[in-house]
Structure 1
């Protein structure tokens, strides 16, 4: 009986072990399939992210190429506008854009002469420099977008001829761009310019120069 009992206990232990092994195999198989499914999901996500990265890289490269082309295009347009505006006074000029070093150099030759005699703007007279600077600003306006355009004392040091040509150029540009507002401030008289539906002239009152001192800081001496 003792031997039979031992054999029965042995069979029971064997069955328990087999059941545990089966459960362990089932659990291991479940974990394996779950890990495999998670790996497949992550692999698909990584593949999708790699595709997005490739698309973004392509977009960035395209934008860089367009930006480089746009810089060249705007530089050429600015040079053309600058030359065209200078030619109205018989000037010739040269603009050199250095995008790598982020610098711009301008040379102008008033009146006669060739490009070999171009001079730096610092060597020009006051009126010549004012007219050249105004042409440069107008050429920048031609390639820049802004709802408002303003110039303060644009005609400083200009003679009558340069001032008249400058005013004609600015008014011509303003008349062709009704969707923008232009503001020009000057200390010179505007008697030759007449207001209309597009032009409004505001004149400030002349200051009172009869007083010897400004009435600031005065105290009652009584």
Structure 2
């Protein structure tokens, strides 16, 4: 599943288990790479690292049977193009698993996100020195 997720961005990759040393290695060849050798995740750009992490978490998610799944600020190092691709991938992943609830938190622009079965809540901006949250009273 990890390889399929990462391939959606044109990259190739796989998970390599080293049972002797009890290690899991994520091997990725970015779409922009000139060679066929796997790139250490330390050498990936911020957006590539974030997308690799999302792909890995989604692959792990298929083995977990919990009713709620949450991701916080998963897109902070992504440019707008990678963010859109990642959000589309996550929303598609969530829609295919409609017996679970997903919560994606992001400080980034969410324009263009939505549609059937997707509810977007945008919080109002706060002042840096604000100490309390101001809630409006419901009408009636």
Instruction: Give the TM-score taking structure 1 as reference length.
Output: 0.54
- Between the two structures, name the one with larger relative contact order (CA 8 Å, sep ≥ 6): 2
Residues 150 and 182, structure 1, Cα contact 8 Å, conserved in 2: yes
Gaps of 5+ in 1: 1-80, 216-222
**Distance in structure 2 (CA, Å) of the matches to 1:128 and 1:113:** 12
SS at match of 2:9: coil
Q: Please list every run of at least 4 consecutive aligned residues from structure 1 whose deviation after the TM superposition is greater than 2 angstroms.
A: 98-102, 112-116
Cα distance per residue 1:30-54 (max 9 Å; x no partner)? xxxxxxxxxxxxxxxxxxxxxxxxx
The equivalent residue for 2:121 is 202
| 1:1-222 aligned within 5 A | 81-113=1-33, 116-196=36-116, 198-209=117-128
Residues 195 and 201, structure 1, Cα contact 8 Å, conserved in 2: no
Q: Note the C-alpha offset of 1:102.
A: 2.7
Gaps of 5+ in 2: 132-140
**Structure that is richer in strand per residue:** 2
**Distance in structure 2 (CA, Å) of the matches to 1:101 and 1:146:** 30
User: Quick check: which has more Rg, 1 or 2?
Assistant: 1
Cα distance per residue 1:89-121 (max 9 Å; x no partner)? 111112111345432011212114487421111
SS at match of 2:104: strand
**Distance in structure 1 (CA, Å) of the matches to 2:31 and 2:40:** 15
Provide the aligned length of Structure 1 versus Structure 2.
Answer: 132
Residues 50 and 78, structure 2, Cα contact 8 Å, conserved in 1: yes
Superposed CA RMSD in Å reads: 2.1
Residues 29 and 36, structure 2, Cα contact 8 Å, conserved in 1: no
